[in-house]
Amino acid sequence: MNFKIEKGWKELLGDEFEKEYFVRLTEFVREEYRTQQIFPPEAQIFNAFDFCPLADTRVVILGQDPYHDLGQAHGLCFSVNDGVPMPPSLVNIFKEIGTDIGSPMPASGNLERWARQGVLLLNATLTVRAHQAASHQNRGWETFTDEVIRRLAAAKEHLVFMLWGAYAGRKSALIDASRHLVLTTAHPSPLSAYRGFFGCRHFSQANRYLTEHGSRPIEW
């Protein structure tokens, strides 16, 4: 497995890569790439970190699992490559952005432009078998990404965490809400978006908080 990761993140997380659970995870993932079709492509596993250096990170959006159909996942949660149809959850995210701050529906669902502004688009699990949702859960990725959230929240001040759905919402226990803005609501999936995601106005709240604490707003 390719462990090339942005320098700041490597310094923050370096000892995690040496722990026993991560060694076992590495062995599992390496064998999966050797014998199965796995998403995202191996070189893109750590794209969330590489597109959003630690020093630039201002917002965290947490997903659960990479997309598991061909050509979709590229290492950023909720994002798809240019030219790939937007999954329903991503469509709903852009609908809420339109309602919240008036931005039009974009032509592409590629969220690299958010990552390059300091939005960490982190899935709790960083790999998945083709067409088998949740197939790499409970193998060690969650231990790693929980530590990412914990260390990030301890190392920086005035971040915005967007935690959508019950699974992501439980990660709020890793974050000191007196030092950061923690926004929780329903997941943008069509099954739950009408239970609170639509109308949550997380994007304007995030920008207002960033501005109040001396940081530039995100161009959503």
Whose CA is closest to 125, among 116, 135, 115, 110?
Answer: 135
- Torsion angle, alpha carbons of 8, 65, 88, 186, to 10: -90
Residue type, 186: A
Order the strands of the 181-185 sheet from edge to edge: 119-123, 59-63, 160-164, 181-185
Whether 65 is catalytic: yes
Whose CA is closest to 131, among 66, 52, 205?
Answer: 66
Greatest alpha-carbon span in the chain: 50
Residue 3: count other Cβ atoms within 10 Å of its Cβ.
10
Q: Which of 65, 69, 82, 146 is the catalytic position?
A: 65
* Active-site amino acid positions: 65
